[in-house]
């Protein structure tokens, strides 16, 4: 099933690209789907402003910080394990040691990841994911994508996201209400971390769509190169 989605996903995107690139005034190299992406961004923005942002603000106002931090820590602990797995896939053994060290410390002494002891003793998070692994393996970034509710992405990072969902563990919980509750908490937790960033974009951007797109692509490039990206080639 996942393999089928993966194999069809780029094909569908390419088709959409072919259909839509005709109407773009100046098709951008990184964002050939700009008209479609802009429409999706606008839709996302309306719903996000009207429903999601107020709900997230309520979560921040009502739920004590201690509890919210614990929720983040538990999800981050799982992501650290995924990061360690991706270190292996990319052959980064020193980073693997770092990330596994975090998982062992936080799971064992941080009560199943409720506390992020590793960060307190200065072991920083590795932040590797499948999108970066695909990049290291030589896959092209592909067209930029804006996915409503998930935010900025690309074909390569979208494939990474699907791989991430496929490895679980939340997806393999048989009890559907429990599974959905965890998905919901995961989504709320992530969105809550971006509340401040949204305010900054509102102040800084001339065109929020472009601002978010370019910031995302720069950030991903930085992560792929582990914080040491080579200088970008000048556009002709």
Residue 107 touching other proteins (CB under 8 A): no
Q: Within its chain, how far is the Cα of 41 from the centroid?
A: 16
The DSSP call for residue 146 is E
Report yes or no: 198 and 191 within 8 Å, Cβ to Cβ: no
Question: For other proteins, how many residues bind (rule: CB under 8 A)?
Answer: 33
Of 9, 139, 161, 211, the residue at the interface with other proteins (CB under 8 A) is: 211
* C-beta of 7 vs 120, nearer to other proteins: 120
Instruction: Identify which range of 106-114, 130-138, 170-178, 220-228 contacts other proteins by CB under 8 A.
Output: 220-228
In whole angstroms, how close is the CB of 159 to other proteins at the nearest point?
21
Instruction: Identify which range of 88-96, 102-110, 174-182, 217-225 contacts other proteins by CB under 8 A.
Output: 217-225
Geometric angle at alpha carbon 45, from 40 and 50, rounded to 5°: 135
Q: 109 by DSSP, 3-state: which? A: coil
Task: Find, among 118, 125, 132, 119, the residue nearest to 88 by Cα.
Answer: 132
Instruction: Identify which range of 13-21, 83-91, 174-182, 209-217 contacts other proteins by CB under 8 A.
Output: 209-217
For residue 185, what are the contacts with CB-CB under 8 A and spacing of at least 6?
71, 75
Mapped to the 3 state alphabet, what secondary structure does 21-49 carry? HHHCCCCCCCCCCHHHHHHHHHHHHHHHH
Residue 44 touching other proteins (CB under 8 A): no
* C-beta of 140 vs 199, nearer to other proteins: 199
CA gap 154, 157 in Å, rounded: 5
Instruction: Identify which range of 52-60, 100-108, 177-185, 196-204 contacts other proteins by CB under 8 A.
Output: 196-204
* Footprint on residues 126-185 left by other proteins (CB under 8 A): none
Which parts of this chain interact with other proteins (CB under 8 A)?
26, 28, 65, 69, 72, 119, 124-125, 193, 196, 199-200, 202-208, 210-211, 213-215, 218-219, 221-223, 227, 229, 232, 235
């Amino acid at each position: 099933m996942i393999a089928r989605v993966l194999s069809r996903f780029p094909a569908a995107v390419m088709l959409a690209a072919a259909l839509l690139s005709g109407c773009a005034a100046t098709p951008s190299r990184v964002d050939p789907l700009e008209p479609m992406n802009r429409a999706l961004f606008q839709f996302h923005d309306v719903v996000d402003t009207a429903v999601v942002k107020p709900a997230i603000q309520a979560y921040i106002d009502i739920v004590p910080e201690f509890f919210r931090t614990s929720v983040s820590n538990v999800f981050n602990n799982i992501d650290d394990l995924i990061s360690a797995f991706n270190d292996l896939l990319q052959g980064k053994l020193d980073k693997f040691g770092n990330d596994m060290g975090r998982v062992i410390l936080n799971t064992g002494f941080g009560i199943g990841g409720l506390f992020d002891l590793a960060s307190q003793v200065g072991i920083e998070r590795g932040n590797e994911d499948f999108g970066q692994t695909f990049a290291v393996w030589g896959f092209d970034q592909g067209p930029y994508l804006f996915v409503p509710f998930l935010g900025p992405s690309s074909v390569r990072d979208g494939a990474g996201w699907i791989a991430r969902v496929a490895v679980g563990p939340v997806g393999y919980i048989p009890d559907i209400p429990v599974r959905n509750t965890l998905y919901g908490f995961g989504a709320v937790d992530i969105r809550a971390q971006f509340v401040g960033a949204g305010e900054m974009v509102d102040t800084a951007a001339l065109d929020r769509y472009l601002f978010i797109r370019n910031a995302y692509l720069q950030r991903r490039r930085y992560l792929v190169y582990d914080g040491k990206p080579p200088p970008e080639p000048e556009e002709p």
